[in-house]
Chain A
Amino acid sequence: MKYKCDKCDRPATHHSVEMVKGKPNEMHLCEQHAADAGLSVSASHAPINELLTHYIKMTDNKGGPKGKPGGVARVDRKCPDCGLKFSDFREKSLLGCPGCYTAFKRPLITLLERAHEGGSQHVGKVPRRSGGGEQRQLLIARMRKRLDNAIAAENYELAAQLRDDISGMERPDAPAKPSAAKPRTAVTDPSPAPGGVTDTPGSTDKEDRA
């Protein structure tokens, strides 16, 4: 969702919430009006962690009855793929894996719009091979996670199997090498294990493909 400036039609770049008599009072201003009001922190050029801090404060205050001004986010969302918590991201400004972009999609869009002059939709180069295969990327990530678990559990037979499956999936259109000839058809996960792999990605992912 994009806000317009409260005072004109330009897109708002300055968002803040003030507590007035215990009630949140939202303000959305463009660069110019924020500067006029003496509020300009030139948010769009601020380092990402500063943006994050502003964002968290904003959502905290706006949020439900439990929101405490300036406190930590109410629900600390977690990435199902790598386990990174949103609060970890806020602290280090780094995401943990490609899946984080799906897990934290909504807060990220707001953040990205502010960090990238309003842009939150990619335009430009698309990789020739991996451009279409988001589903496949997700599947590989999950199989890698199982591979790690298998190694940790010293289940080397499963690990070897998974490793073969992964390498088969990663190079679906690569020329077959004499040493590691793998059928090109191994695009679907051949050995679904309990939990994890059969998860369907959230509905947000469908929006991606639209």
Chain B
Amino acid sequence: MTLRGISSGAGEWLRGSGPHSDVVISSRIRFARNLAGFPFVNRANRRQRYEVLESCRAQIMTNRLADNTLWVQLADSPAIDRQLLVERHLISRDLARHKADIPRAVAIGADETFAIMVNEEDHLRIQVLRSGMQLSEAYDQINRIDDILEEKLDYAFSKRFGYLTACPTNVGTGVRVSVMMHLPALKLTGEIEKVKRAARDMHLAVRGLFGEGSEALGDLYQISNQTTLGRTEKEKLADFEKSVIPQIIAYEHQARQALLRQREKQLDDKVWRAWATLTHARVLGTDETLQLLSHVRLGVHTARLERVDIRTVNELLLLCQPAHLQKVTGQEMTPAARRIARADLIRQRLAPRG
């Protein structure tokens, strides 16, 4: 598998399938791990960083873990490839940043359900990403990966504090559960603020499309846990699966129903204006496109708009982003040229077939 290969379609997590996929885009779990006997990445010297990278590579690339795993050295890769991986949620923005002195890499599973970052803030950041509401499945997968890596790698661990991490906010289980949700009706009705407040009271973080510090473009929100110490992985997971996420899903469904009952014409107007713009505009920016796609997605899920399938909409959420757009069109472009290419691509993908 190559980077070229993975950019042609949407990753597993955007397939628009999986339970509750009308509201839940993806389920993600990540484990933070460090190797015993080494300083954390921020304090390791060059030789130690290389040694960590090499030890991890050797263990990750065994076939016991998965066949056809792609290993990408990020220090050597062009900026556009790194950006592509960020857009696909396979690496963090931090790992993508150019830091010549930190040898770092990511291992990507052939189906893109897992990605293992080496030498990010912690030596290892393992993540599993799946479409729709599939936290249990994601947990089983990541737990298995973790077990296989641990057969040869000595993790830094203490009985008192659990898995030791560079930042004390991750110590303990080292587990971050993160569910990406599409909440357009809560946004349109203004109820989203209540959700955010409630989430904060439950010690959950509500973030945008690209995590920390990013805006909720396209009405996409990531809900994730803030605490990692004092409760087991299973307890945290159960919170999300049985309580937090089902409540937010129900709330979004209620808001959609309320819109249909009370503001049907306004809802239709939003959906069809979005459709009209996307199918006719000649110049489109990323943020605007994501917002329009959000309204189209809402239209599809409320059966107001039947000219497009959800898979196409989800794919466009990804392809309209700068690095993907340039990969698809096969050329590097200025932002101004991208806006034109983006509009072209979208018109083409949304044109009636046959």
Top 6 nearest A-B pairs (CB, nearest first) are A119-B230, A122-B162, A140-B37, A96-B43, A137-B36, A124-B232
Binds B, one of A17-25, A41-49, A63-71, A185-193: A41-49
The answer to whether A96 and B229 have CB atoms under 8 Å apart is: no
B172 contacts A119, CB within 8 Å? yes
In whole angstroms, how far apart are the Cα atoms of A165 and B311 in the complex?
55
Could you tell me which B residues sit within 8 Å of A by CB distance? 34, 36-40, 42-43, 45, 47-48, 121, 143, 146-147, 150-152, 154-164, 166-169, 171-173, 175, 200, 203, 205, 226-234
Q: Can you show 5 pairs from A to B with CB atoms below 8 A apart? A: A93-B167, A97-B38, A119-B230, A122-B161, A122-B229
Chain A, residue nearest B41 (CB): A94
Main secondary structure on A side of the interface with B? loop
Bound-complex Cα distance A119 to B229 (A)? 6
Contact: B160 with A123, CB < 8 Å? no
Closest B residue to A140 by beta carbon equals: B37
Decide: A140 and B227 in contact? CB cutoff 8 A: no
A95 touches B37 (CB 8 A): no
- Decide if A153 is an interface residue (CB 8 Å cutoff): no
Let me know if B230 and A118 touch, CB within 8 A.
yes
Q: Could you say which of B151, B156, B160 has the most chain A C-beta atoms within 10 Å of its C-beta?
A: B160
A174 to B55 Cα, complex, angstroms: 14
Q: How far is the CB of B340 from chain A (nearest CB, A)?
A: 40
Given A48-B169, A121-B230, A96:B40 Cβ within 8 A:
yes
Which A62-105 residues have a C-beta within 8 angstroms of B? 81-82, 84, 92-98, 101-102
Q: Which residues of B contact A108 (CB under 8 A)?
A: 161, 168
In the complex, A80→B269 CA distance in Å?
65
Size category of the A interface is 35 or more
Residues of B within 8 A of A207 (CB): 160
**Chain B residues whose CB sits within 8 angstroms of the CB of A131 once the complex forms:** 157, 159
* Interface contact A95-B230, CB-CB below 8 Å: no
Q: Tell me if A94 and B39 are in contact (CB < 8 A).
A: no
Q: Which residue on B lies nearest to A97, using beta carbons?
A: B39
CA A171 to CA B153, docked complex, whole Å: 8
A125-B233 contact, Cβ under 8 Å, with A45-B200, A115-B227, A140-B154: yes
Best-surrounded residue of B157, B169, B226 (most CB of chain A within 10 A): B157
Judging by beta carbons under 8 Å apart, are A112 and B37 in contact? no
Known: A112-B168, A131-B157, A137-B157. 16 other contacts (CB 8 A): A92-B42, A101-B160, A119-B230, A120-B161, A122-B161, A123-B232, A124-B173, A124-B233, A124-B234, A125-B143, A130-B154, A134-B157, A141-B37, A144-B38, A148-B45, A171-B152
Tell me the minimal C-beta distance from A83 to chain B in angstroms.
8
A121–B42 touching, CB < 8 Å: no
Which residues of chain B have C-beta atoms less than 8 A from A133's C-beta? 36, 154
Kindly report which residue of chain A lies nearest to residue B160, judged by CB atoms. A208
Given A82-B43, A94-B40, A140-B154, A124:B162 Cβ within 8 A: yes
Is A119 a contact of B227 with CB atoms below 8 Å?
A: yes
Our pick among A45, A96, A122, A144 for the contact of B158 (Cβ within 8 Å) is A122
Does the CB pair A101–B158 fall under 8 Å? yes
A111 CB within 8 Å of chain B: yes
**Taking the complex as formed, is A164 at the interface, i.e. its CB lies under 8 A from any CB of chain B?**
no
Query: How many Å from the CB of A58 to the closest CB on chain B?
Result: 17
Q: Does chain B have a CB within 8 A of A1?
A: no
Chain A residue at smallest Cβ distance from B199: A45
Chain B residue with the shortest CB-CB distance to A47: B169
Most chain A C-beta atoms within 10 Å of own C-beta, residue among B150, B168, B232? B168
